[in-house]
Structure formats: C-alpha cells, structure tokens
Structure 1
C-alpha cells in the first residue's frame, strides 16, 4: 500500500511540473502602449495588472519588476495600483531624432514564476518644436540668367509627421521666386529662382525673408533672412572633380586620419579663381581649406551612426559656387563583447524534479551588427543542465537528466 502511495505521489509531482512548464511557455507575451512625449514623471502608461489578469496584491508576492537594457529607466511599476508609469520626462526628439516611429522597450519580470512579458511603448510626438534654419547671404553676378536656381538653407524641425516641416514661403522682391524640390527621402529642398534680370547699378543688394511652417495646430513658423549681393560679371563657376564623393571606413579608423580629399577647378583667372572650399560645421569631421582634405576629429562608433553626409562648397571671388556631397559610410568591427545578464534563478530544486525543469533565465546581448553580433551560448563542464533558446535573446537553463543529491 505504501509503495502504491509513493508511486501516486511521484505521478502527481511529475504532472505538477508539466503544468508549470506549460504555464512557462504561455507566459511569454507582449504588451503595447502609447504615451505622448514630455509627460510629467509618474504619468499613466498602461494598466499592466489588468492586462495580465493579475490582482494588485499579487504583484509584490510574485516579485514583479520592470527592467530595461537602457541606462536610463524610463518606466516604473506602481505596486499599489499595478499601473505602468513614466519614471522620467521623455523627450522624443532626443531619443529618436532620426526615427519616424519611436518605440521604447522594457520587460516585466515575474520573478517568482519565471515569466517575462515584453512591453513596447510608442512615444507619440507633440508639436513642441518650430522649424529653424540659418540666415544666408547669396552672391550673384549681374549677368546671371533669369530662371537660374540657387539652393537655400533647409529648415529643420525635430518633430515628426504633421508636426514637422510642411511648407515654405518667400517674400521681399519681384526679382526672385521660390521653388521647392522633393529630395530622395521625400524632404523639401527650397531653391531661390531668379525671375528678373539683375542690375548692380540699380540695386547692389536684395533683402528677402524665407518662412518655414509646420502642420501643427496651431502651426509653428521659423524665419530666415536671405541677403542677395549682386556682383559684376563672372563667366565661370568653380566645378568639383566629382558631384558626389563616397568613401567607406572601418569604425576603428584612427583619429586624425584623412578620409577623402575634394578638389575644385575654375577656368577663370584672377579673383574668379576658386577660393578655399568650405563645409558645414561638424564635431566629427574637419575640412582643410587649403588642400581639401577631410580628416577625422573623434572616434567613430558604428552603433552610434553608420553613415554621414556632408556638403562642401567651393566659391570663387565673383560669388559663383559649386557644391558637392560627401558620403562617409562606417563599417562595423567586432568591438563589443557579449553581455550575459541573469534575469531570474531558482535558489533550490528538488532532486526528483523532472528533466527540462527551468532553473535560471538568462539574457544575452551583443551591440555589434551582423555576424559580429551573432552570439552562441553553451554550458561548460559535466553538469546535469543544458541551455535552451527561449525568447529572442533569452536562454533557459534546464535540467538535462535526473538529479541525485547524494551524487
């Protein structure tokens, strides 16, 4: 009779472990919320307890916590309400300046039951930035033909969607009109069009106002003054040897290295010869105005940026100019080691636990890209455990055979 009861007890325990494993597989879920940027600290994001079917009093009993791979923890869990709230004021433009859809990721760990729920929070844009751009002075020869076009400074708006830049307007002079071209990425590029021939003796300068408007409600506007200086005749403009310079460099290229050299020529003589080339101010690259060499000012990091576009301009003494684009592509090297984080672990386990029992939850991440970021995991030594790939970058340590405490 005692032997029968022992066998029945073992079957019950084995059935219990199978049910726990099934619950483990069902626990891997994902929650999605959205919240406007710039909300005060402690603002409501989502009712995690309700969405997961948990009672509020269970949160502390089960050891529920929110973790993130970012250094800054943007979200927190309120134990009294089960609500996910903001832990910091979130600036969408600071976090996702080059990304149209801004999504922050965090994970809800139910430590007592070894459950993980991935949480995606989309940060919605608000119209908190106005378009802005620099004032500019243009120089044009009085022999410039009507219909000629000159690029104007682009306005920049850190907001996205309808809250970003939508249109331009030009006012100030009958000699000029505005044209807006669509760039390869759908961006708007304003151009000044000469509508009427210039006469330096009539007017040596023309003052214009360029306005940029976004689509917010109410709309925000930025303005720039465009000053056109009329010069005496100059027949030929400088010409770069290439309209576009493209170079690929590894991310560990030494600081001070010359990445590319640009050159421009002009068939005119005297003051109409091309002057030193210029480039937009950059804290990463430097243009030597004497020889046209572009050098590196600080170390590159592929994970921070894999491509940079620069514009260089050569202008002669008569005010004519040519512009070339320089594209610098950064290639990844294996400069980051994998990082292993123990998300959860059992402090003890019964020796009669069945094979496949989960004893630890691990997270493995490598910041490199492509093959350099591919990670393989293994357990060393003759131990009764094995690794199983579980969820994205997660692994489980499970029992590989029956345990024997006496051994």
Structure 2
C-alpha cells in the first residue's frame, strides 16, 4: 500500500525471472476491502518479455593435443548452448593460416601436418589476464625441444618456481591458475604482477640437460564488486513539523574495484512501502523530505508514522552490481495544538438544596494532537465568598464538577468558575481556559426566625376573650420567604383547653397573641395556672398566584411562658392605656426545687464568706503573734488576807 487508496505491485527478485526456464506469465488475484467490509476481486496478469542472451561455451577451457606428422583434419568440436536456440555463426580470432574453423558448426581444423622439432613455438613470456579466472584456467603451454644431436631416448620434465597462483603440468608444460586471483585484495592490489621461473629438464641415461625461462603474468581488474554502503542500516528521528526539502540523511557507498572507472556508481532506486512520495533520493545519495509528515494526516496514520526506506546503488558500468542501504525513519510528534473546549463556555443552574457530592456538570476539552496523551483540568479562579475550595470540586481527569458543600442562595446567587485544560506534554504543555457559570436557584431552606422568644407574660384570670395578651406581638422574618408565607399554630399539648390563639393566623409576618377562651377555675374546667406555649411558625402558606407550595416548608419555634393570676390577690395594679384591659402585677415567690442554680449560688456564696472569714482570722493571728506582751505580764498582789 502506498496510501489508503493506492497500491503498488513490485518485483521481489527472488527467484529471478527466466523466460526460457520459468513460466512466461503470472496471474495475480488482488482483493480490495474497504473500511465498511465491502470487497472486490480483480485479476492482474504479468507477461515476461524475452531478452536475447549470449550463447555459452560449455567447454570453454579446452586444451587440444595433436601428434606431429598428423595429416590435416578435425581436431576440436566445441559444445555451445544458446538460451534462445538461435542459429550460431563461428569465427576464429585471431586468424591463423594453419587453422580453420567451420562457420556454421564451429569445428576446428588443421591445414597442415605439424613438425614438433621444426615448427615455430610461441616465445611470449609476458601475459595479461583478468582477475577471478577459475582455477585450472590455462595461461600458456610451455614446450621444450631436444637438440637433434641427441640420439638416445629420454623425457622432458617441467617445473615452476614457488608461488601462490600458478601451477605447471610436469609432462605437458601447461601453465594453469592454481588459486583465486583477486586484484582488489592484497598483495595483488598493491602489485598486480606475478613473476615465476619455468624450467624444462631432459633426463636421458646420460648427463641431464635443462633450460629455464621467466614468465610474467599481469592481473588486470574487472568490474566484479558491487557498491557497499556503510552503514547499511540507519535510524533517523524526524519531527512531524520538519520543513519540505529538509535533509533526512545521506547514504555513502564505496566500490572496492581497483580501476577508478569500475568504482563509479550512482543511486538509482528509493523504495518505501506506504511512503506516498514523501522522500526523494538524489544521485549523490541524499534523501530529502518531499511531503508532510503531519501526525494528524489520515494518509500518514496508515503507516503508523514509521517508514522503512530501501536505497539501491548501482555500478555505472554494470547495473547488475548493486548495493543496498536501509533507513528507518520514525516521525516524532510535536505538541502543535492547544486543547479546545466544546462548547467554549458552560452554564449550569442548580438548586441550593443540593448537598455534598451532587454533580453539577462536566467540562470537556479535546486535543487534535496525535498520539492522544490526555487532558487534565484544574480551577484557576471562581467560587463564592467562602472560597473556591469550599464550594466546588473538579475531577482533574474527567472534568466533572461536584459540590463540596451545600450552596446558599442568600449568600451568593452566581458563581463564575474559570477552568484550565492542560495537555499531557511533559516538555511544552499547551493549555486553554473556559468559563463556567453556576446559578444557584432559590429554595425554601431557611426556617422562619421570630421574636421575642422565651417571653414571660402575666394574664389575669378574668381577662376578656379577644384581648391581646399583655400587648404581645410576634414578629417573624425569613431569608427565602415573603411575609405572606407564614402560618402560626400553637402546639395543642401546651395550649390546654385552647385558651390562646394568634391573630391573624397566616399571611403576615406580624401577629398578636389573643385570649380565645375564658378561664374557668371556679367551675373546675381549668386547674393549670401556668402555661408554656410552643408556637410553630411555618412558611408553607401559598404564595399569591401559586397553586402549590414552592418547596418543603420550614418551621420555626417560639416559646412563651404565661402565668395566670387572680386579680383579687394582687398588691399592685397597673392600668394600661388600652381601654377595658387591666394588667395585674403579682409578687410571688417563684422558687422551684427544680431551679438548681438557686442552691448552687447560695452554696457558692456561703463558701465565699467562710473563705473571707478564715482569711481574716489568719491575718489576726499573725498580728497577735508579733506583739511584745512582756510589759503586760500580771504582778502578784500581796495577800490582804491569809488564804
């Protein structure tokens, strides 16, 4: 795959195509499947094109022996193979009148009978051969002749001086290659000339005869080494924001051939699966960026932002000699984008009745940077008069806002929170902020507060019904309820025989305590002279225009102590300005054994007096102990009478 919608079919090179030996066509089935799972199958047919190849001599290194005096005739029939089986034409190079070659079959003929003693022999002692010839390859054939005046029968033996590359046949004098000759390695790299001495020795029954010659073989370089790239594997980290044309790396290759002409090479191929032309290779081996490495580009996501590049260098004189280098390019992400809140701001409305742990809402910020490294949230400012940390809690990972405590509408109606989102880049983090408005809606969470409380009132037993008891007026306030919402009731257990009632009973924040039923002590109906009224004030009265109460009603409490007295027993009468209403002030011992504080105060006072008295006695004793009483000692009186 080159990208998400383009694919390439390439040749692997293993095994090599051979038109004559392998199939000439290939049928490839290509299956394409999209992200939705839909598939289609197509067929690609590849045909091989025949390339004319040179014929091959199967017996290239042939040595032919023929006896002297042999009549002219056929001495050699070559074995030649042509891959295409095309007609062949043979020629003899260089031409020689003593030999002839058949043009169609390549048969080699002699044109005369040779004389071993009189025919000329080659006197060439210097040879130039290419390197890397196979061992056994014939360099030359050394022949020696016996003088005509030698009439006894003997034989000639050939020897060669000690060396690492050449050998000679003892009886035939054929000089062959014994070991590999590598012109590109020492010692031949520094000195390509091989000098040896060949000796021919005739061994008849009489004294031996010998002769020697010196052979010089010069080994020439051939173009047999491919370019070698070093290092052949590289790893490069490139940021996703790298500019077009930036140098990624440079590939360096060298050819070990000696001849400068054979060392020339250039870079011919850059392959990369899924690169989509992102990289460019120059003839000098420089790889530059030719596209965008943006991590967030969908075309780059397919490859995982990692690329394996294969660079091929080819010998300029023999393109079959190639060298390879692999470059692994890893794209490193760059923190490019700030987090973005969606939506850009938030508005929530909550009741002041919500308590600790209640979820208000959630903020959410996204980061376009890939790979995703997460976003964390924190408060910058906000909160009410009691401080941010005492009102709201923000989950740093999920952005959830919850209550730490119950909000109070009467203290703060609106909170403006500023929240920061920071991405997870440890080196260069980027952030964004958003505003969260939290409106607190009013709820009936405050009980009525009324006064006066714990009031002591005195009521004459003959007080007329409908009268305001000692001008007592109850006034109430409520932070979250209007004056019209109050309802006044007196606990039935404390209001025995229902003597007392408030007027009005509801719809106002000011009401009076009224005597509803007269007292009847003489008839035996009433026996209680002291009342402790428990007044319940509720804010549950329906507001004007509201069919239902707003919230759960709240209730306040006031306690009123009332003492009923007989006016005939009073010692002081106080007449108020209110017509027909008389208030009686009664003096009475109100000690009660249940009043523990009276005993406590009395005991405390007695102990204090005893302490003071003891201290005074102590001071008096100290003073008396310091007085000089010697002058005050009584003198005995003379007896006036005999005792």
Tell me the TM-score range normalised by the shorter chain. Answer: 0.3 to 0.5
Larger helix fraction of residues = 1
Greater RCO structure (CA 8 Å; 6+ sep): 1
TM-score scaled by length of structure 2: 0.25
Select the structure of larger CA radius of gyration: 2
TM-score scaled by length of structure 1: 0.36
